[in-house]
């Protein structure tokens, strides 16, 4: 087992029991090889096994800051062998200085829509619907033998608090291209298994296979460990991190596939009319006659074809975005009729169902089939050439990872997915933006630019079935936005899914607090920012919420209480610029009742000191605090956005109201000068579009405002609170604000 090192939270290994276990078949016989010693080669029946284990520093029996390990199998026999599973590590789970009931365990779901959270073992195991459809989409390793254990895809972090402090252990795979991999933990904490699924691939004599690279890290901060894993995996896999995450408009959450060409064109015109900085026009599902027949358009919706619509988008200066589900073929599609041999087959030679799409069965394509890969490349090259698409959303990618008979019997499910995505990336080139969705996460690292990291948002806050954390709902979507925040900027740009800011009605049930919470979480997450309202009919007053999330900052807030609450409540963005540092905290009330929330500065990770506090949505200055702040009447599903800025003894910028992140993106220059007791602050703001907002300044007691100018014109400041003034302005691309102050004698 492990125990805590004296005076720290780093675990120490004190007992044996570690092993690597390989499950394979020779002919009809199943075999198991157990390797108890690292770096010792074993031979059996023509197979060569080696378990590599490299300590980064230290040895067994002392502190373990890190280990890397993998297993390689080489076939030197005379008949084929079939490799099923490799447990790169099977070991007693360290108790971390506390009983398992006090552990918090990070569980990462398999694909985009699968739930992710840190589960407290004392609360019991997470329950799932248990349906065949759920297992097909979210449980690729499901089996009766999995009962009584917790599974997490690619990585887990186990954390607990002890008398000596916090202790945490990360176990995760930092390469993700060869096999689907998971980390399993017995509910009673007795055993830990890090497993790679080789899916029964055939090894011919002379062939070799290697597991993914497993790492172990220990430390006192579980969130930092998860961020470290994301960074390391991105480096190992060549993660594609766009400098500026895209903005755009998506047709789905207003029309749900029923939009016509006219609907799209009119929304492009509305974007122009409202002067909204939305760059991509994403035509989502519904334009095609069947999944797989991407150039067979529904003539009732697109009577003149796709080209005139795309031309209108380009003429408006926007980018063309197109949705596909490239790894499926509908049962009634022309694609399946022409190429029935392109789909996966089960043991009875029946087509493998990928998913049910609005009542229609879609079969899973075999992405190891050379003709399928050639067709994928030709399809996306044609979309790029004929439609001039530069933004591609590829959906339902998990279909390629279903179990079945493949053309290449040496390929795993993970490799099948990756080959399909590689064919698409090669076809569209390195400059086009590729967005994964419904995707096995690990298989796409290094290939996609963006990744959906949660279930679909919805005009409803709660899912229809409350216990299905993968079903569409704004609450479910936001859970994953927060719990997968560490992936952003390390593996790809996170896609939190679309904003919905329209008012309540037949197609919208979110109340204002819920809309503001969605806007807040999307803005603080820093990733893709797409709206999906009918912008022809939206109330003008609602557009301000969309503007306040644009543009994406590119940096993500941190879920500071991820390992304390299964629905994290603190999503905190730390911003540092040449002219200062401030923090923006999204403080969530997930409850259905109004409460009073007391927030201690220690919980936010702020250095000791005194801070101005501004409540963004209520446009209220809450004063100066040095210990705690209270959010009174914290309403149901309301996120209080609180800005914390260190108190200065001189006049200073407090905040702006143009963006939820308050100065992170719109302030491009800040100058302060003081001469002979007189001070001047000059601020330059830049933001696309047209938007009204306010710039607030703190004015310490011995100072007074002499003059204020906006774009060179004098303006009388408004006193918002004692020692706080503001200036209102319409920001249209560029604005300059200057305020002069005089220091009074004591």
> Which residues form the catalytic set?
395, 456
The SS3 of residue 432 is: coil
Helical (H) or strand (E) element with 386: helix 370-386
Beta strands in 191-345 (DSSP E): 192-203, 208-210, 214-219, 247-250, 280-283, 319-324, 328-330
**Joined tokens for residue 629:** 């702040």
**Joined tokens for residue 728:** 């209102």
* C-alpha torsion sign, points 17, 19, 23, 29: negative
DSSP string of 398-409, one letter each residue: GGGGS-SB-S-T
Helical (H) or strand (E) element with 20: strand 19-26
**Joined tokens for residue 543:** 């557009």
Rounded distance between C-alpha atoms, residue 113 and residue 467, angstroms: 14
What is the separation, in whole angstroms, between the first and last Cα of the chain?
66
CA atoms within 13 A on the CB side of 79: 6
The SS3 of residue 733 is: strand
The SS3 of residue 502 is: coil
**Joined tokens for residue 414:** 């993970």
DSSP assigned state of 438: S
Rounded distance between C-alpha atoms, residue 382 and residue 385, angstroms: 5
Contact in structure between 404 and 364 (CB atoms under 8 Å): yes
The phi and psi torsions of 308 (rounded to 5 degrees) equal -60, -35
- Work out whether strand 580-588 and strand 639-646 pair parallel, antiparallel, or are unpaired: antiparallel
Number of Cβ within a 10 Å radius of residue 337: 13
**Joined tokens for residue 556:** 């993500």
The SS3 of residue 501 is: coil
**Joined tokens for residue 457:** 């948002």
Residues whose CB falls within 8 Å of the CB of residue 405, separated by 6 or more in sequence, listed in order: 344, 345, 346, 347, 349
Rounded distance between C-alpha atoms, residue 621 and residue 647, angstroms: 13
Contact in structure between 712 and 736 (CB atoms under 8 Å): yes
Burial 562-576, CB ≥16 within 10 A → b, else e: bbbbbebbbbbbbbe
**Joined tokens for residue 270:** 């509305």
HEC readout, 167-179: EEEEEEECCCCCC
Rounded distance between C-alpha atoms, residue 198 and residue 605, angstroms: 43
Contact in structure between 608 and 627 (CB atoms under 8 Å): no
- Work out whether strand 353-357 and strand 328-330 pair parallel, antiparallel, or are unpaired: unpaired
DSSP string of 33-101, one letter each residue: EEE-STT-EEEETTEEEEEEEEESS--TTSB-S-EEEEEEEEE-SSS-EEEEEEEEEEEPPP-TTS-GG
Contact in structure between 387 and 430 (CB atoms under 8 Å): no
């Amino acid at each position: 087992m492990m125990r805590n090192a004296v005076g720290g939270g780093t675990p120490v290994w004190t007992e044996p029991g570690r092993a690597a276990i390989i499950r394979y078949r020779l002919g009809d016989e199943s075999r198991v090889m157990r390797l108890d010693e690292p770096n010792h080669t074993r031979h059996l029946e023509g197979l060569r096994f080696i378990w590599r284990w490299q300590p980064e520093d230290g040895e067994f029996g002392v502190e373990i800051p890190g280990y890397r390990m993998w297993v390689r199998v080489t076939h030197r026999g005379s008949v084929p062998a079939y490799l099923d599973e490799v447990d790169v590590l099977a070991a007693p789970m360290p108790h971390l200085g506390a009983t398992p009931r006090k552990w918090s365990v990070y569980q990462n779901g398999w694909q985009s829509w699968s739930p992710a959270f840190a589960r407290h073992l004392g609360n019991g195991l997470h329950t799932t619907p248990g349906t065949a459809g759920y297992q097909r989409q979210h449980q690729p390793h499901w089996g009766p033998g999995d009962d009584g254990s917790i599974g997490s895809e690619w990585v887990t972090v186990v954390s607990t608090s002890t008398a000596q402090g916090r202790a945490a252990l990360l176990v995760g795979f930092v390469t993700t291209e060869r096999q689907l991999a998971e980390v399993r933990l017995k509910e009673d904490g007795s055993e830990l298994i890090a497993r790679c699924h080789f899916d029964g691939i055939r090894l011919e004599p002379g062939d070799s296979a290697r597991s993914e690279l497993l790492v172990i890290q220990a430390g006192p901060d579980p969130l930092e460990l998860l961020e470290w894993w994301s960074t390391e995996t991105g480096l190992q896999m060549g993660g594609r991190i766009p400098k500026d995450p895209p903005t755009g408009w998506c047709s789905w959450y207003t029309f749900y596939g029923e939009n016509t060409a006219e609907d799209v064109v009119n929304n492009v015109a509305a974007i122009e009319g409202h002067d909204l900085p939305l760059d991509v026009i994403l035509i989502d599902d519904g334009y095609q006659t069947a999944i797989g027949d991407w150039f067979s358009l529904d003539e009732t919706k697109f009577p003149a074809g796709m080209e005139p619509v795309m031309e209108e988008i380009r003429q408006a200066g926007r980018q063309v975005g197109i949705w596909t589900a490239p790894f499926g073929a509908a049962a009634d599609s022309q694609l399946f009729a022409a190429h029935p041999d392109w789909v996966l087959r089960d043991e009875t030679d029946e087509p493998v169902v990928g998913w049910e799409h609005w009542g229609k069965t879609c079969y899973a394509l075999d992405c190891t089939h050379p003709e399928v890969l050639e067709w994928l490349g030709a399809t996306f090259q044609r979309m790029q050439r004929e439609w001039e698409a530069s933004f591609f959303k590829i959906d339902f990618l998990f279909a390629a990872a279903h179990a079945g008979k493949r053309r290449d019997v040496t390929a795993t499910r993970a490799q099948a997915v990756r080959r399909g995505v590689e064919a698409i990336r090669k076809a569209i080139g390195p400059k086009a933006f590729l967005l994964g969705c419904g995707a096995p996460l690990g298989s796409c690292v290094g290939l996609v630019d963006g990744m959906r990291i949660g279930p679909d948002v919805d005009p409803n806050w709660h899912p229809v079935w409350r216990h299905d954390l993968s079903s569409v709902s704004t609450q479910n979507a936001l859970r994953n936005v927060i719990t997968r925040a560490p992936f952003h900027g390390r593996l790809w740009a996170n896609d939190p899914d679309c904003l919905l800011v329209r008012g309540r009605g037949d197609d919208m049930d979110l109340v204002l607090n819920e809309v503001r919470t969605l806007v807040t979480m999307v803005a603080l997450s820093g990733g893709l920012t797409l709206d999906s309202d009918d912008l022809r009919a939206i109330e003008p007053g609602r557009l301000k919420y969309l503007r306040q999330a644009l543009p994406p900052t590119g940096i993500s807030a941190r879920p500071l209480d991820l390992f304390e609450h299964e629905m994290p409540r603190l999503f905190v963005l730390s911003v540092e610029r040449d002219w200062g540092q401030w923090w923006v905290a999204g403080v969530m009330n997930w409850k259905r009742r109004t409460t009073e929330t007391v927030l201690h500065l220690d919980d936010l990770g702020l250095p000791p000191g005194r801070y101005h506090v501004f409540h963004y949505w209520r446009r209220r200055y809450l004063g100066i605090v040095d210990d705690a702040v209270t959010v009174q009447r914290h309403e149901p599903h309301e996120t209080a956005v609180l800005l914390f800025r260190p108190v200065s003894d001189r006049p200073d910028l407090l905040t702006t109201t143009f963006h939820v992140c308050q100065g992170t993106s719109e302030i491009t220059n800040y100058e302060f000068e003081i001469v002979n007791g007189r001070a001047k602050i000059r601020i330059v703001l830049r933001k696309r579009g047209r938007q009204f907002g306010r710039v607030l300044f703190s004015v310490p007691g011995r100072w007074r405002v002499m003059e204020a100018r906006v774009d060179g014109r004098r303006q009388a400041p408004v006193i918002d609170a004692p020692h706080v003034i503001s200036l209102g302005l319409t920001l249209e691309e560029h604005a300059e604000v200057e305020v002069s102050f005089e220091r009074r004698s004591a």
